[in-house]
Amino acid sequence: MDVTADWLARLPKTELHLHIEGTLEPELMFALAQRNGVRLPYDSVEAVRAAYDFANLQSFLDLYYAGAGVLLTEQDFYDLTAAYLLRCRADRVVHTELFFDPQTHTARGVPYATVLAGIRRALTDAHEQFAISSKLILCFLRHLSEEEGFATLREAEPYLDLIDGVGLDSSEVGHPPEKFARLFARCKALGLPRVAHAGEEGPPDYVWQALDLLDVCRIDHGVRALEDPALVDELKRRRIPLTVCPLSNIRLKVFQRLSDHNLRALLEAGLVATVNSDDPAYFGGYVGENWRACAAALQLTRAELKQLAVNGFTGSWLPEVEQARWIAEIEAM
């Protein structure tokens, strides 16, 4: 075979689409529930896993927000993030850009500063101990109002030096990017780079809106962009990366089978597609598993896998010299 498991394991990788709350494994969920005296509606880890049978994005989000209810203290956020970073090390993810959803926590009375401090401390430790670099992206929940988004931004303003950009996530259909045009304009004025989930379940028009109204530098998911040739041309012309999450797309029924996924078609269309895990504790695999599963199901060639890895670095917010260093290592493999 052209691609061996060892070669894939050694390939330097990025992760550009990862919700830290989506890395909460059932074992940690139970441990934190016990530590914090939180009651869970499940009586075992197996029962939690058995509930992970999703019909669509919303049915997943309902469980995901409920699960996050065990996260209360700075140490909880540290432990969650530290566990994820160990997975990064195992999968040779050398650079990761994480989302966090402050509104999921502040709505339960957990201060913004508590969430931020726990995540940041784990990121700093991973940089020192494992040389994993990272960026942190504050996501606004699009099922909430514009006003609530502005309140969250005001709360974040004293700590802006601790975040690297903003994003938009949660229930896509019915909550188009245009709902947050003014919020994202304010983020732009504050100098924050912007990304948005679009074209996961929502139509190509949402991708256009994210580009034109939110002025994003990356599209999260974006797999439905292929339905609109003019949009493909625009994404290509502007070299806008798409943070594709293959196993997520299968679990949330965006595609029925991995062999039906359009990852190769995105590459063939000349788009800057990348491979990411989204919410790995819920979708059955971290980044390494997404790469292995795609390589097998789509029979990706070594050249295609290298292109995906290079795209992860060019699509990242790493300085160009660091991108170039990693890309040289990939090219030499």
What string marks each residue from 267 to 286 as x (binds Zn ion by CB under 5 A) or -?
-----------x--------
Minimal distance, residue 202 CB to Zn ion, in Å:
13
* Residue 131 burial by Cβ neighbours in a 10 Å radius (0-12, 13-18, 19+): exposed
- Which of ligand ADE, Zn ion, none does 57 bind, CB closer than 5 to 8 A by kind? ligand ADE
When the beta carbons of 91 and 278 are compared against Zn ion, the nearer one is: 278
Cα-Cα-Cα-Cα torsion 77, 82, 84, 87, nearest 10 degrees, comes to -170
Query: Looking at 200, 227, 320, 322, which residue is catalytic?
Result: 200
Q: How far is the CB of 56 from ligand ADE (least distance, A)?
A: 11
- Contact 109/26 with Cβ under 8 angstroms? no
Pick one of 87, 95, 120, 197: the residue that binds ligand ADE (CB under 6 A). 197
Position 19 contacts ligand ADE (CB under 6 A): yes
Count CB atoms within 10 A of the CB of residue 143. Answer: 16
Residues 6+ apart with CB under 8 A from 264: 298, 300, 304
CB nearer to ligand ADE: give 22 or 69.
22
Q: If binding is defined by CB under 6 A, does position 8 make contact with ligand ADE?
A: no
One of 12, 15, 22, 114 touching ligand ADE (CB under 6 A): 22
Closer residue to ligand ADE in complex, CB, 57/219:
57
Q: Is 278 in the site for ligand ADE (CB under 6 A)?
A: yes
> Binding residue for ligand ADE (CB under 6 A) from 88, 200, 214, 274?
200
Binding partner at 200 among Zn ion, ligand ADE, none, C-beta below 5 to 8 Å by kind: ligand ADE
Measure the CA–CA gap between 245 and 262, rounded to whole angstroms: 11
- Please, what is the minimum distance in Å from the beta carbon of residue 279 to ligand ADE? 5
Pick the closest to residue 219 from 178, 265, 272 (CA basis).
272
Pick the closest to residue 21 from 65, 79, 55, 57 (CA basis). 65
- The CB-of-296 to ligand ADE minimum distance in angstroms stands at 23
CA angle 17, 72, 128 (to 5 degrees): 55
CB 242 within 8 A of CB 266: yes
Report the nearest approach of ligand ADE to the CB of residue 285 (Å). 14
Per-residue buried b or exposed e for 33-70, using 16+ beta carbons within 10 Å of the residue's own CB: beeeeeebebeeeeebeebbebeebbebbebbbebbbb
Shortest Å distance, C-beta 276 to ligand ADE: 10
Pick the binder of ligand ADE from 74, 79, 97, 169 (CB under 6 A): 169
CA atoms within 13 A on the CB side of 127: 11
- Mask 63-102, x = binds ligand ADE (CB under 6 A)? -x--------------------------------------
Residue keyed to tokens 């550009």: 16
Is 200 marked active-site? yes
Q: Select 74 or 101, whichever has its Cβ closest to ligand ADE.
A: 101
- CA angle at 159 for the pair 197 and 20, rounded to the nearest 5°: 40
Q: Which residue is nearest to ligand ADE (CB)?
A: 169
How far apart, in whole angstroms, are the C-alpha atoms of residue 286 and residue 86? 11
The footprint of ligand ADE on residues 208-267 (CB under 6 A) is: 248
CA 193/CA 212 separation, integer angstroms = 14
Q: Cα–Cα distance between 77 and 83 in angstroms, integer? A: 10
- Binding-site ranges for Zn ion (CB under 5 A): 278
- Binding-site ranges for ligand ADE (CB under 6 A): 19, 22, 57, 64, 169-170, 197, 200, 248, 278-279
Q: Which are the catalytic amino acids?
A: 200
